[in-house]
C-alpha cells in the first residue's frame, strides 16, 4: 500500500547553502539554493522530504532551460504508519523554454524566462533507493526501483495549471533577472525567484496530474542567489587577547554576472562576521573583517581541511534596485589560513 504515494501542494522557499558552479550556459546561468520540500496527499498517504543537514542542492537557469536537483531525506506517512526518514535523490529539468528581454523606463532591462504546458518539456524523478539496494528501504514498500516519476501532462493545460500565485494559465515555469543596461547582458542587478509547477507520481506508476476538479500539482518557489568568488590572503589569528583588534582583507572578485560596484558595502559578511570599510578597487570589492574578537574564534570552530585551512562562507547583498522590495543575495566561499600566534 506504500507504493501509492504521490505529490500534492509542494512548496519550495528560501535558500540553503553555497552550491557548486554549473557548467557554462547561456545568460544567465545562476547557481542557487533550494530547500526542504513537503508534500501532502496522494490517495491516502503523505510524504515529506527535507534537505539533509549539510546537504547541497543545485538550481540552474539559462535562456532555454532550468533544473533543480539534490539529496533529500523523505518520510512516508500512511495512516498510522510512519516510514523513514530515508535518503532519496530529487531531480527535475525543464527544456524548450522561451525568453524575452524587456527594456525598462529607467534604462535597465529584465530577462523573463517562461515555460508553457504543451510546449516546454519536463522530466524528473524522486529516487528513494539511490544505492539500488537488493532490499530497499522500508519507504519503498518492497519496490527495489523505488522511483517516483515527475512530469507534466499536456491535457487540459489551462485547467490543470490555472492562473494563480504569479503563474499565468498554462504556465509551468518562470524566472526573471534584471541588468543595469538595456540588453539583458552582463552583470546582474536583481534576481527574481524561480517558480515551477509539475505533477507527481508514485513508486509503482508514472506521474498523474489528476483532473481539473482535483489536480495533483506541485508548486515550487525557489529564491535565488548569485555565486561569488573571493579570497582572504592573510592568516587569521584565532587566539585573541582582550585588547586584540586586528583585521584581515576580504576581496570579492569581479565575475561574469557580478560587478563588485553593485555589491552593497554595508552588507558583506565572512562566516557571519560583518565586514567594514568596503571599497571597490581594480581587484574587486575589498573589505576589512575584524579578526579579534569575532572572526578568529568563529573560524577556529570550523572543520579543518586536509591542508589545515578552513572554508569560510562569504555572504552579502547587491545594492537595492528601485521598484524591487528585496536585495539579491550573494554567496561564496574561501579557504582561510589560521594562526595561533
Encode the chain (341 residues) as per-residue pLDDT tens digits: 222 222 222 222 222 221 222 222 222 333 333 333 444 333 345 677 776 766 666 777 777 888 888 888 888 777 778 888 889 898 889 999 998 998 888 888 888 899 999 999 999 988 999 999 999 998 888 889 888 888 898 888 999 899 988 899 999 999 888 888 888 888 889 888 788 888 876 777 677 787 777 777 777 777 677 889 999 989 998 877 666 678 899 999 998 889 999 999 999 999 999 999 999 999 999 999 998 878 998 999 899 999 999 999 999 999 998 888 889 888 899 999 998 76
Same domain, 189 and 58: yes
Whether the upstream peptide bond of residue 293 has omega within 30° of 0, thus cis, is: yes
Same domain, 23 and 63: yes
Q: Are strands 310-318 and 284-290 parallel, antiparallel or unpaired?
A: unpaired
What CATH number has the domain bearing residue 239?
Answer: 2.60.40
Same domain, 62 and 147: yes
Put the strands of the sheet holding 263-270 in their side by side order. 226-227, 329-336, 310-318, 263-270, 273-274
Handedness of CA 252, 258, 263, 267 (dihedral sign): negative
Query: pTM of the entire structure?
Result: 0.72
Tally of domains within the chain: 2
Same domain, 199 and 238: no
The domain containing residue 274 runs over which residues? 228-339
Same domain, 203 and 242: no
Same domain, 193 and 251: no
Decide which of 181, 196, 224 is a domain's last residue. 224
Decide which of 204, 224, 244 is a domain's last residue. 224
Decide which of 194, 224, 254 is a domain's last residue. 224
Same domain, 237 and 99: no
Same domain, 267 and 220: no
Amino acid at each position: 500500500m506504500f507504493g501509492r504515494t504521490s505529490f500534492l501542494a509542494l512548496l519550495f522557499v528560501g535558500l540553503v547553502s553555497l552550491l557548486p558552479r554549473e557548467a557554462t550556459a547561456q545568460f544567465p546561468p545562476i547557481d542557487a539554493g533550494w530547500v526542504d520540500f513537503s508534500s501532502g496527499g496522494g490517495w491516502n498517504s503523505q510524504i515529506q522530504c527535507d534537505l539533509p543537514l549539510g546537504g547541497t542542492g543545485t538550481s540552474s537557469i539559462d535562456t532555454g532551460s532550468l533544473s533543480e536537483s539534490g539529496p533529500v531525506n523523505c518520510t512516508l506517512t500512511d495512516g498510522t504508519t510512519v516510514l523513514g526518514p530515508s535518503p532519496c535523490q530529487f531531480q527535475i529539468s525543464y527544456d524548450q523554454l522561451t525568453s524575452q528581454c524587456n527594456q525598462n523606463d529607467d534604462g535597465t532591462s529584465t530577462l523573463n524566462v517562461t515555460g508553457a504546458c504543451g510546449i516546454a518539456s519536463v522530466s524528473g524523478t524522486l529516487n528513494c533507493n539511490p544505492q539500488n539496494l537488493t532490499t530497499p528501504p522500508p519507504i519503498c514498500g518492497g519496490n527495489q526501483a523505488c522511483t517516483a516519476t515527475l512530469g507534466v501532462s499536456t491535457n487540459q493545460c489551462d485547467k490543470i495549471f490555472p492562473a494563480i500565485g504569479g503563474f499565468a494559465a498554462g504556465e509551468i515555469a518562470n524566472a526573471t533577472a534584471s541588468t543595469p543596461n538595456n540588453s539583458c547582458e552582463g552583470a546582474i542587478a536583481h534576481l527574481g525567484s524561480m517558480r515551477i509547477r509539475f505533477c507527481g507520481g508514485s513508486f509503482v506508476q508514472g506521474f498523474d496530474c489528476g483532473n481539473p476538479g482535483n489536480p495533483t500539482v506541485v508548486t515550487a518557489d525557489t529564491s535565488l542567489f548569485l555565486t561569488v568568488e573571493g579570497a582572504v590572503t592573510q592568516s587569521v589569528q584565532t587566539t585573541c587577547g582582550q585588547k586584540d583588534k586586528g583585521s584581515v582583507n576580504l576581496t570579492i572578485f569581479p565575475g561574469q554576472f557580478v560587478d563588485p560596484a553593485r555589491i552593497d558595502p554595508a552588507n558583506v559578511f565572512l562566516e557571519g562576521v560583518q565586514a567594514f570599510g568596503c571599497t571597490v578597487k581594480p581587484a574587486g570589492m575589498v573589505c576589512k573583517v575584524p579578526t579579534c574578537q569575532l572572526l578568529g574564534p568563529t573560524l577556529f570552530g570550523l572543520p579543518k581541511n586536509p591542508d589545515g585551512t578552513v572554508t569560510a562562507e562569504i555572504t552579502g547583498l547587491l545594492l537595492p534596485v528601485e521598484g524591487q522590495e528585496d536585495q539579491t543575495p550573494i554567496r561564496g566561499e574561501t579557504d582561510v589560513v589560521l594562526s595561533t600566534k
